[in-house]
Structure 1
Amino acid sequence: MNAYPDFSYVAKLIAEPARAAILNGLMDGSSLPAGELAYRASVSAPTISSHLAKLVEGGLITVHQQGRHRYFKIADASVAEILEKLGTLAPPVQVRSLRQSEELKRVRRARTCYDHLAGELGVGLAESLVKRNMIILENGEYAVTEPGKELFSRWGIRLEEARVKRRVFAKACLDWSERRFHISGWLGAAMATRFFELGWIERVDGSRAVRLTEAGKAALREDLGYVETIRI
Protein backbone atom coordinates (compact mmCIF):
# COMPACT_ATOMS: atom_id res chain seq x y z
CA MET A 1 0.00 0.00 0.00
CA ASN A 2 1.29 3.45 -0.97
CA ALA A 3 0.71 6.00 1.80
CA TYR A 4 1.57 8.98 -0.40
CA PRO A 5 -0.80 11.10 -2.55
CA ASP A 6 -1.54 9.64 -5.98
CA PHE A 7 -0.22 12.41 -8.23
CA SER A 8 -0.93 10.25 -11.28
CA TYR A 9 -4.69 10.70 -10.84
CA VAL A 10 -4.49 14.48 -11.27
CA ALA A 11 -1.77 14.15 -13.91
CA LYS A 12 -4.03 11.95 -16.04
CA LEU A 13 -6.82 14.51 -15.80
CA ILE A 14 -4.59 17.31 -17.02
CA ALA A 15 -2.65 15.25 -19.58
CA GLU A 16 -5.58 14.87 -22.00
CA PRO A 17 -5.23 17.75 -24.56
CA ALA A 18 -8.93 18.65 -24.59
CA ARG A 19 -9.07 18.84 -20.80
CA ALA A 20 -5.90 20.94 -20.77
CA ALA A 21 -7.58 23.29 -23.26
CA ILE A 22 -10.64 23.52 -21.00
CA LEU A 23 -8.49 24.46 -18.01
CA ASN A 24 -6.56 27.04 -20.04
CA GLY A 25 -9.85 28.52 -21.21
CA LEU A 26 -10.97 28.99 -17.61
CA MET A 27 -7.70 30.39 -16.27
CA ASP A 28 -8.98 33.95 -16.58
CA GLY A 29 -11.37 33.24 -13.71
CA SER A 30 -14.45 33.27 -15.91
CA SER A 31 -17.45 30.92 -15.85
CA LEU A 32 -18.21 29.41 -19.25
CA PRO A 33 -20.93 27.10 -20.61
CA ALA A 34 -20.13 23.71 -22.09
CA GLY A 35 -20.73 24.92 -25.65
CA GLU A 36 -18.06 27.62 -25.41
CA LEU A 37 -15.60 25.19 -23.85
CA ALA A 38 -16.31 22.62 -26.57
CA TYR A 39 -15.43 25.25 -29.18
CA ARG A 40 -12.20 26.17 -27.40
CA ALA A 41 -11.20 22.53 -26.98
CA SER A 42 -12.26 21.62 -30.56
CA VAL A 43 -14.44 18.70 -29.46
CA SER A 44 -18.09 17.69 -29.84
CA ALA A 45 -20.86 18.28 -27.30
CA PRO A 46 -20.96 14.65 -26.05
CA THR A 47 -17.17 14.62 -25.71
CA ILE A 48 -17.03 17.88 -23.78
CA SER A 49 -19.64 16.59 -21.32
CA SER A 50 -17.44 13.60 -20.50
CA HIS A 51 -14.34 15.76 -20.03
CA LEU A 52 -16.16 18.28 -17.84
CA ALA A 53 -17.60 15.54 -15.64
CA LYS A 54 -14.12 14.15 -15.02
CA LEU A 55 -12.68 17.57 -14.18
CA VAL A 56 -15.54 18.29 -11.76
CA GLU A 57 -15.12 14.88 -10.13
CA GLY A 58 -11.38 15.52 -9.83
CA GLY A 59 -11.99 18.82 -8.04
CA LEU A 60 -10.24 20.96 -10.66
CA ILE A 61 -13.37 22.81 -11.76
CA THR A 62 -16.80 23.51 -10.30
CA VAL A 63 -20.21 23.81 -11.94
CA HIS A 64 -23.22 25.95 -11.09
CA GLN A 65 -26.69 26.13 -12.61
CA GLN A 66 -28.03 29.41 -13.94
CA GLY A 67 -31.45 29.03 -15.46
CA ARG A 68 -31.31 26.23 -18.01
CA HIS A 69 -27.56 26.49 -18.43
CA ARG A 70 -24.63 25.12 -16.46
CA TYR A 71 -21.46 27.16 -16.10
CA PHE A 72 -18.00 25.85 -15.29
CA LYS A 73 -15.05 27.59 -13.65
CA ILE A 74 -11.70 26.82 -12.01
CA ALA A 75 -12.37 25.45 -8.51
CA ASP A 76 -10.36 28.09 -6.63
CA ALA A 77 -7.18 30.15 -6.55
CA SER A 78 -5.07 27.24 -5.30
CA VAL A 79 -5.92 25.17 -8.38
CA ALA A 80 -5.10 28.12 -10.64
CA GLU A 81 -1.76 28.59 -8.89
CA ILE A 82 -0.83 24.94 -9.39
CA LEU A 83 -1.71 25.13 -13.08
CA GLU A 84 0.35 28.32 -13.45
CA LYS A 85 3.33 26.59 -11.83
CA LEU A 86 2.97 23.62 -14.17
CA GLY A 87 3.18 26.10 -17.03
CA THR A 88 6.73 26.97 -15.98
CA LEU A 89 7.69 23.30 -16.46
CA ALA A 90 6.01 22.93 -19.84
CA PRO A 91 8.08 23.19 -23.05
CA PRO A 92 7.82 26.39 -25.13
CA VAL A 93 4.72 26.65 -27.29
CA GLN A 94 5.34 25.62 -30.90
CA VAL A 95 3.94 28.45 -33.02
CA ARG A 96 2.39 27.17 -36.25
CA SER A 97 0.49 30.18 -37.59
CA LEU A 98 0.53 33.97 -37.63
CA ARG A 99 -2.70 34.01 -35.61
CA GLN A 100 -1.16 31.81 -32.92
CA SER A 101 1.96 33.98 -32.90
CA GLU A 102 -0.08 37.15 -32.34
CA GLU A 103 -2.13 35.55 -29.56
CA LEU A 104 1.03 34.34 -27.82
CA LYS A 105 2.47 37.86 -27.93
CA ARG A 106 -0.71 39.26 -26.37
CA VAL A 107 -0.89 36.78 -23.49
CA ARG A 108 2.81 37.17 -22.76
CA ARG A 109 2.46 40.94 -22.67
CA ALA A 110 -0.48 41.04 -20.28
CA ARG A 111 -3.05 38.48 -19.15
CA THR A 112 -5.12 37.40 -16.20
CA CYS A 113 -4.02 34.38 -14.18
CA TYR A 114 -7.31 33.42 -12.54
CA ASP A 115 -8.07 36.71 -10.73
CA HIS A 116 -4.73 38.55 -10.83
CA LEU A 117 -2.43 40.03 -13.47
CA ALA A 118 0.35 38.06 -15.11
CA GLY A 119 2.69 38.25 -18.07
CA GLU A 120 5.02 41.16 -18.66
CA LEU A 121 2.52 43.58 -17.10
CA GLY A 122 2.02 41.52 -13.92
CA VAL A 123 5.75 40.97 -13.45
CA GLY A 124 6.56 44.59 -14.30
CA LEU A 125 4.07 45.87 -11.73
CA ALA A 126 5.51 43.64 -9.01
CA GLU A 127 9.07 44.68 -9.76
CA SER A 128 8.16 48.38 -10.02
CA LEU A 129 6.36 48.26 -6.66
CA VAL A 130 9.41 46.64 -5.06
CA LYS A 131 11.80 49.10 -6.70
CA ARG A 132 9.76 52.07 -5.43
CA ASN A 133 9.64 50.50 -1.93
CA MET A 134 5.86 50.17 -2.04
CA ILE A 135 6.10 46.48 -1.20
CA ILE A 136 8.88 44.20 0.02
CA LEU A 137 9.41 40.52 -0.76
CA GLU A 138 10.18 38.19 2.15
CA ASN A 139 10.03 34.39 2.17
CA GLY A 140 7.91 34.19 -0.95
CA GLU A 141 5.31 36.75 0.15
CA TYR A 142 4.91 40.50 -0.29
CA ALA A 143 4.31 42.98 2.54
CA VAL A 144 3.09 46.54 2.01
CA THR A 145 5.22 49.43 3.31
CA GLU A 146 3.89 52.73 4.64
CA PRO A 147 4.41 54.47 1.26
CA GLY A 148 2.69 51.47 -0.33
CA LYS A 149 -0.33 51.86 1.93
CA GLU A 150 -0.68 55.46 0.75
CA LEU A 151 -0.38 54.42 -2.90
CA PHE A 152 -2.95 51.64 -2.66
CA SER A 153 -5.31 53.94 -0.78
CA ARG A 154 -4.99 56.49 -3.57
CA TRP A 155 -5.78 53.75 -6.08
CA GLY A 156 -8.92 52.90 -4.10
CA ILE A 157 -7.69 49.56 -2.75
CA ARG A 158 -8.83 49.08 0.85
CA LEU A 159 -6.12 46.96 2.46
CA GLU A 160 -8.12 46.51 5.66
CA GLU A 161 -10.61 44.36 3.72
CA ALA A 162 -7.94 41.68 3.41
CA ARG A 163 -8.23 40.94 7.13
CA VAL A 164 -11.68 39.39 6.74
CA LYS A 165 -10.70 37.24 3.76
CA ARG A 166 -9.42 33.73 4.34
CA ARG A 167 -6.72 34.00 1.74
CA VAL A 168 -2.97 34.61 1.50
CA PHE A 169 -2.47 38.38 1.37
CA ALA A 170 0.15 38.70 -1.38
CA LYS A 171 2.17 35.80 -2.72
CA ALA A 172 5.07 35.76 -5.18
CA CYS A 173 3.75 33.61 -8.04
CA LEU A 174 6.26 32.40 -10.65
CA ASP A 175 5.10 33.56 -14.07
CA TRP A 176 5.23 30.85 -16.77
CA SER A 177 6.11 33.21 -19.63
CA GLU A 178 8.46 35.63 -17.86
CA ARG A 179 10.04 33.17 -15.37
CA ARG A 180 9.90 35.93 -12.76
CA PHE A 181 7.36 36.74 -10.06
CA HIS A 182 4.01 38.47 -10.25
CA ILE A 183 1.63 39.15 -7.34
CA SER A 184 -1.11 36.65 -6.53
CA GLY A 185 -3.32 36.34 -3.46
CA TRP A 186 -5.73 38.95 -2.14
CA LEU A 187 -3.63 41.94 -3.18
CA GLY A 188 -3.07 40.66 -6.72
CA ALA A 189 -6.81 40.13 -7.14
CA ALA A 190 -7.63 43.53 -5.64
CA MET A 191 -5.23 45.28 -8.00
CA ALA A 192 -6.66 43.56 -11.08
CA THR A 193 -10.24 44.29 -10.03
CA ARG A 194 -9.49 47.94 -9.32
CA PHE A 195 -7.54 48.41 -12.56
CA PHE A 196 -10.57 47.15 -14.51
CA GLU A 197 -12.85 49.50 -12.56
CA LEU A 198 -10.56 52.48 -13.24
CA GLY A 199 -10.36 51.64 -16.94
CA TRP A 200 -6.60 51.13 -16.74
CA ILE A 201 -6.84 47.68 -18.32
CA GLU A 202 -9.39 46.04 -20.58
CA ARG A 203 -9.95 42.51 -21.81
CA VAL A 204 -8.99 41.33 -25.27
CA ASP A 205 -11.91 39.31 -26.65
CA GLY A 206 -11.47 35.57 -27.00
CA SER A 207 -8.41 35.07 -24.80
CA ARG A 208 -6.93 35.61 -21.34
CA ALA A 209 -5.05 38.63 -22.67
CA VAL A 210 -5.68 42.11 -21.33
CA ARG A 211 -4.63 45.46 -22.71
CA LEU A 212 -3.16 48.42 -20.82
CA THR A 213 -5.18 51.49 -21.82
CA GLU A 214 -3.78 54.98 -22.36
CA ALA A 215 -5.20 55.99 -18.97
CA GLY A 216 -3.49 53.00 -17.38
CA LYS A 217 -0.18 53.75 -19.05
CA ALA A 218 -0.28 57.35 -17.82
CA ALA A 219 -1.22 56.39 -14.24
CA LEU A 220 1.40 53.67 -13.86
CA ARG A 221 4.07 55.81 -15.45
CA GLU A 222 3.32 58.65 -13.01
CA ASP A 223 2.99 56.50 -9.87
CA LEU A 224 5.60 53.80 -10.52
CA GLY A 225 7.69 54.89 -13.46
CA TYR A 226 6.34 51.80 -15.25
CA VAL A 227 6.63 51.86 -19.04
CA GLU A 228 5.17 49.03 -21.09
CA THR A 229 7.60 47.21 -23.36
CA ILE A 230 6.23 46.27 -26.76
CA ARG A 231 7.28 42.81 -27.93
CA ILE A 232 8.25 42.49 -31.57
Structure 2
Amino acid sequence: MFDNLRRRPGPKDAALRRARVCYNHLAGDMGTRMFARLMTRGQLVLNGDALTLTGAGDSFARECGIDVEQLRHDRAPLCRECLDWNDRRSQLAGSLGPAFLSRFEELDWAKRDPKTRIVAFSRAGERAFDEVFPVD
Protein backbone atom coordinates (compact mmCIF):
# COMPACT_ATOMS: atom_id res chain seq x y z
CA MET A 1 0.00 0.00 0.00
CA PHE A 2 2.72 2.48 0.93
CA ASP A 3 5.27 1.18 -1.58
CA ASN A 4 4.41 3.93 -4.02
CA LEU A 5 5.05 6.77 -1.59
CA ARG A 6 8.07 8.77 -2.63
CA ARG A 7 10.77 9.21 -0.03
CA ARG A 8 12.07 12.72 0.36
CA PRO A 9 15.60 12.64 -1.01
CA GLY A 10 18.50 14.04 0.95
CA PRO A 11 21.44 15.80 -0.63
CA LYS A 12 23.36 13.78 -3.21
CA ASP A 13 26.66 15.42 -2.27
CA ALA A 14 28.37 13.30 0.40
CA ALA A 15 29.92 16.41 2.00
CA LEU A 16 26.46 17.97 2.40
CA ARG A 17 25.12 14.78 3.94
CA ARG A 18 28.05 14.66 6.35
CA ALA A 19 27.99 18.23 7.73
CA ARG A 20 26.21 21.37 6.61
CA VAL A 21 24.59 24.49 7.97
CA CYS A 22 20.85 24.44 8.55
CA TYR A 23 19.87 28.08 9.11
CA ASN A 24 22.75 28.75 11.54
CA HIS A 25 23.38 25.42 13.27
CA LEU A 26 25.17 22.16 12.43
CA ALA A 27 23.15 19.67 10.40
CA GLY A 28 23.80 16.48 8.51
CA ASP A 29 25.26 13.31 9.99
CA MET A 30 27.52 15.22 12.36
CA GLY A 31 24.68 17.46 13.57
CA THR A 32 22.33 14.56 14.27
CA ARG A 33 25.14 12.63 15.96
CA MET A 34 25.88 15.59 18.24
CA PHE A 35 22.18 15.84 19.19
CA ALA A 36 21.94 12.08 19.83
CA ARG A 37 25.01 12.09 22.09
CA LEU A 38 23.72 15.05 24.10
CA MET A 39 20.43 13.19 24.57
CA THR A 40 22.05 9.84 25.39
CA ARG A 41 24.27 11.44 28.03
CA GLY A 42 21.29 13.21 29.60
CA GLN A 43 22.66 16.65 28.72
CA LEU A 44 19.49 17.42 26.78
CA VAL A 45 16.03 16.10 27.68
CA LEU A 46 12.66 16.32 25.98
CA ASN A 47 9.78 17.26 28.27
CA GLY A 48 6.77 16.99 26.01
CA ASP A 49 7.67 19.27 23.13
CA ALA A 50 10.18 21.30 25.15
CA LEU A 51 13.88 20.55 24.73
CA THR A 52 15.80 21.41 27.89
CA LEU A 53 19.48 21.69 28.71
CA THR A 54 20.13 19.81 31.97
CA GLY A 55 22.65 20.78 34.65
CA ALA A 56 25.05 18.23 33.16
CA GLY A 57 24.48 19.75 29.72
CA ASP A 58 25.07 23.24 31.06
CA SER A 59 28.38 22.12 32.59
CA PHE A 60 29.37 20.35 29.38
CA ALA A 61 28.61 23.39 27.21
CA ARG A 62 30.62 25.61 29.55
CA GLU A 63 33.54 23.14 29.44
CA CYS A 64 33.35 23.45 25.65
CA GLY A 65 33.81 27.21 26.01
CA ILE A 66 30.22 28.28 25.43
CA ASP A 67 28.80 31.14 27.51
CA VAL A 68 25.47 29.53 28.37
CA GLU A 69 24.43 32.36 30.66
CA GLN A 70 24.75 34.86 27.81
CA LEU A 71 22.73 32.56 25.53
CA ARG A 72 19.92 32.48 28.10
CA HIS A 73 19.47 36.23 27.52
CA ASP A 74 18.97 35.81 23.76
CA ARG A 75 15.53 36.12 22.20
CA ALA A 76 15.76 32.63 20.74
CA PRO A 77 15.06 29.68 22.99
CA LEU A 78 18.24 28.12 24.36
CA CYS A 79 17.47 24.69 22.90
CA ARG A 80 15.19 23.77 20.07
CA GLU A 81 14.85 20.58 18.09
CA CYS A 82 15.16 20.81 14.31
CA LEU A 83 14.46 17.87 12.02
CA ASP A 84 17.27 17.06 9.59
CA TRP A 85 15.88 16.75 6.06
CA ASN A 86 18.38 14.07 5.08
CA ASP A 87 17.80 11.32 7.62
CA ARG A 88 14.77 12.78 9.45
CA ARG A 89 16.57 12.78 12.82
CA SER A 90 16.90 15.67 15.24
CA GLN A 91 19.61 18.30 15.32
CA LEU A 92 20.20 21.09 17.86
CA ALA A 93 18.86 24.55 17.04
CA GLY A 94 17.86 27.41 19.35
CA SER A 95 20.77 29.59 20.47
CA LEU A 96 22.87 26.65 21.73
CA GLY A 97 23.13 24.88 18.36
CA PRO A 98 24.73 27.86 16.59
CA ALA A 99 26.95 28.44 19.63
CA PHE A 100 28.40 24.92 19.26
CA LEU A 101 29.01 25.46 15.54
CA SER A 102 30.68 28.81 16.20
CA ARG A 103 32.84 27.20 18.86
CA PHE A 104 33.92 24.47 16.42
CA GLU A 105 34.97 27.24 14.04
CA GLU A 106 36.82 29.16 16.77
CA LEU A 107 38.75 25.99 17.61
CA ASP A 108 39.59 25.53 13.89
CA TRP A 109 37.76 22.23 13.88
CA ALA A 110 35.46 23.32 11.07
CA LYS A 111 34.86 25.96 8.45
CA ARG A 112 31.61 26.90 6.70
CA ASP A 113 31.42 27.28 2.94
CA PRO A 114 28.79 29.99 2.45
CA LYS A 115 28.34 29.09 -1.24
CA THR A 116 27.37 25.47 -0.59
CA ARG A 117 26.40 25.35 3.13
CA ILE A 118 28.98 22.57 3.59
CA VAL A 119 30.76 22.53 6.94
CA ALA A 120 34.23 21.10 6.31
CA PHE A 121 35.98 19.64 9.34
CA SER A 122 39.77 19.54 9.42
CA ARG A 123 41.35 16.16 10.18
CA ALA A 124 42.22 17.34 13.69
CA GLY A 125 38.75 18.81 14.07
CA GLU A 126 37.10 15.60 12.96
CA ARG A 127 39.17 13.60 15.46
CA ALA A 128 38.29 16.04 18.25
CA PHE A 129 34.59 15.96 17.28
CA ASP A 130 34.70 12.14 17.26
CA GLU A 131 36.17 12.15 20.79
CA VAL A 132 33.53 14.52 22.12
CA PHE A 133 30.61 13.02 20.16
CA PRO A 134 31.64 9.42 19.40
CA VAL A 135 29.85 7.20 16.89
CA ASP A 136 27.68 4.49 18.44
Per the alignment, do residues 205 and 169 of structure 1 end up closer, same or farther by CA in structure 2, a change over 3 Å counting?
Answer: closer
1:57-100 CA-to-partner distances (Å, cap 9, x unmatched) read xxxxxxxxxxxxxxxxxxxxxxxxxxxxxxxx98426xxxxxx9
Q: Does 1:128 align with 2:40?
A: no
Give the corresponding residue for 1:184: 93
Give the corresponding residue for 1:71: none
In the aligned structure 2, how far is the partner of 1:140 from the partner of 1:219?
31
More helix, by proportion: 1
Structure 1 residue 138 displacement after superposition: 2.4
Give the corresponding residue for 1:157: 66
Per the alignment, do residues 220 and 140 of structure 1 end up closer, same or farther by CA in structure 2, a change over 3 Å counting?
Answer: farther
In the aligned structure 1, how far is the partner of 2:126 from the partner of 2:40?
18
TM-score (norm 1): 0.51
State the aligned residue count.
Answer: 131
Alignment of structure 1 residues 164-179 onto 2, 5 Å: 164-179=73-88
Percent sequence identity over aligned pairs: 34
8 Å Cα contact 1:175-1:182 kept in structure 2: yes
Q: Which structure 1 segments of 5+ residues have no match?
A: 1-88, 94-99
Letter in 2 for 1:92: P
Alignment of structure 1 residues 13-32 onto 2, 5 Å: none
Alignment of structure 1 residues 173-212 onto 2, 5 Å: 173-204=82-113, 206-212=115-121
Structure 1 residue 179 displacement after superposition: 0.5
8 Å Cα contact 1:107-1:209 kept in structure 2: yes
Q: Which structure 2 segments of 5+ residues have no match?
A: 1-5
Q: Does 1:118 align with 2:35?
A: no
8 Å Cα contact 2:26-2:97 kept in structure 1: yes
8 Å Cα contact 1:175-1:181 kept in structure 2: yes
Q: Does 1:105 align with 2:22?
A: no
Q: Does 1:92 align with 2:9?
A: yes
Give the corresponding residue for 1:32: none
Q: Does 1:146 align with 2:63?
A: no
In the aligned structure 2, how far is the partner of 1:171 from the partner of 1:145?
13
The structure whose Rg is larger is: 1
